[in-house]
Chain A
Amino acid sequence: MSKQGVVPDDFSQPFWDAANEERLVIQNCLECNRLQHPPAETCRDCGAGDSFEWKPMSGRGTIYNYGVVHDCPVRLLQEDQPFNLAVIMLDDDPGIQMFSHLPGVPVDDVPVGAAVEVIFEPTANGQLVPEWRVIDD
């Protein structure tokens, strides 16, 4: 599936630079040592506003949940309908979720609870984006 391209802004630049190096980083508050995703200007837990790092993740996770998108508002994705849209829980912190189209998994045949690992796929303008692949035993 071809996702829309990405034009990194100042705030998101480290996330996207890491993705282009095939590394997954998540915003971490240095005040309360808590991961936060989606990233924000302030910590939603302690309120700190200026002490973040982009923390490297293990790249391992679990399929927490999914739906099947049949009527997508994003034009570029409409030709791929229907498609899986899953939520991944990170092993580093199961409270942190990421979306995935689960490349390679048949539509509506998603193994909830299965282990996944991060991979990186090019978007429409070449920017790499984190995606997730089921780990074969």
Chain B
Amino acid sequence: MTTPTAPDAMYRNDEGLGIWEHRGKVAAYGVGHGPTSRRWDGRPETCVGAITIQALRKAIADAGVAPEQIDGLVVVPVTTTGAFWEEGKPLPMDVIESFNQTDDPLDGVAKLSAEWLLANMPELTNVQFTMYGPGCMSNALNVAAQAVGDGLTHTCLVVKSWHNFEGRYYQSGANVEDALPGTAAITRLWGGPASYGTALQFAEYCRKYGKTHEMMAPFMENSRRNGLMFPEGYWAQHRPEELGREDYLAARWIAKPANLFDNDIPIMMSGAYLFSTAERAGDMKQKPVYILNHASSNARPRSLTPTLDEVEAETARTARKIYEGAGITADDLSFENMYDGFSLFHQFHLEGLGYRGIKFGEALDFYQTDISIEGPNPVSPSGGNVGSGRSRVWMHTDCIQQLQGRAGPRQVTGVEPEVAVSGGPMPLGGNFTVWSASPD
């Protein structure tokens, strides 16, 4: 069995598609997370494959289904954006030989195939459908929702994991060479860090609307506070430190106006969910969280980096797609859980959605009001990547747990958790899911 990558047709990229044909007929039931760590310590039991198996087993147990009932698996095969196994570095043979292998020796160590997972989870005896949703959990969720809706799988696991190695992201390869190939050099000679593009958009935003980087502090504080109430997260597990206003504003710059905390911390983690049809609700241990819609953005900037105009046009378009397919309006959102890594673009997602009626240029003022989980306008109750480390997963887990009423100390109390949206990553280029406690 070779696992195909999801075809473009599985994503809802266009406006005017109407209500999603499977609205309310697909549901999330189980959630499972593997343990987090800052970097891999080299042991077999902590490699990305191993923590993924843990996450999947927890999701299965959480939903209360027998493993042989699972007939589908959607995987994000890439497990990093910047931590790569260096060419020529010896392979960790003791680790590789601890597992059933595929043709690729780094499978389970620096990447993940569906085949590797199935080879190492013998209890999954009935998986007929496998598919890759490359990129983020957000991609994989959309693919899994569509696949269950289309009847390609009935009970489906969906998983996204991250590995992290020694060393820093991006400080190798072409970046340490004395010369670059000509085509790459046309854009890369200037050395912008990963957060530079977002920093630019934020700078333009501040100039246009008269806002400042300082105005981010309440959002950062709130996000870390929520993250510390996320027992699956990195900061809660390893460094239970608040992020006060002074700490945030004193942090060193990476690409001003983006500072250290505006850049999410790379970690190892794995998050998994169990999806099935809404009809199976009676067989499950957990309450269903119905999927009302999924939507995608595949816009690209005209030139090197998105302008604020391009960002705002696209987040508005994305919101129209989100609402149209779900048959809801901004007024229906109990809270929002859009992506935040980098933190300086969270407001673009928020303004695109028109959450609580806010318009372009108003989100930073909104951050100065009560955005806590106890208030009437929760912002990022998951805490996102700011609160729990780089995963692009927390927002989805939180939506499911909030709507099931089992977000623990993080549970929103100022609003009734009924409808939520999560997704990302970028304002130009992302995937989004609408969740609901009720199927209609």
Contacts and interface: CB of A to CB of B under 8 A. Distances in A.
Contacts of A100: 190
A67 B258 contact: yes
A69 B255 contact: yes
9 contacts: A4-B179, A4-B185, A65-B200, A67-B258, A69-B192, A71-B253, A74-B175, A85-B192, A101-B190
Interface string B174-197: 011111111101111111111010
A5 B200 contact: no
Contact of B186 (A15, A64, A67): A15
A77 B191 contact: yes
A11 B182 CA distance: 8
A63 to B, nearest CB: 12
Given A3-B190, A65-B204, A87-B200, A70 B252 contact: yes
Nearest to B168: A73
B341 to A, nearest CB: 16
Contacts of B257: 67
Interface centre among A72, A74, A75, A112 (most CB of B within 10 A): A74
A67 B253 CA distance: 10
Contacts of B194: 73
Contact of B190 (A11, A99, A124): A99
A69 B193 contact: yes
Interface residues of B, number: 41
B93 interface: no
B203 interface: yes
Given A6-B179, A73-B171, A97-B304, A67 B187 contact: no
Interface in A1-54: 3-9, 11-13, 15-16, 37-39, 44
A82 interface: yes
B293 to A, nearest CB: 28
B175 A73 contact: yes
A-B pairs, 9 with minimum CB distance = A12-B182, A5-B179, A8-B182, A74-B191, A73-B170, A97-B303, A68-B256, A99-B190, A70-B253
Given A70-B252, A95-B303, A108-B256, A39 B196 contact: no
A58 interface: no
A98 interface: yes
B190 A7 contact: no
B250 to A, nearest CB: 14
A77 B187 CA distance: 15
A75 B300 contact: no
A113 to B, nearest CB: 10
Contacts of B300: 44
A11 B184 CA distance: 11
Contacts of B207: 112
A76 B194 CA distance: 17
Contacts of B254: 70-71
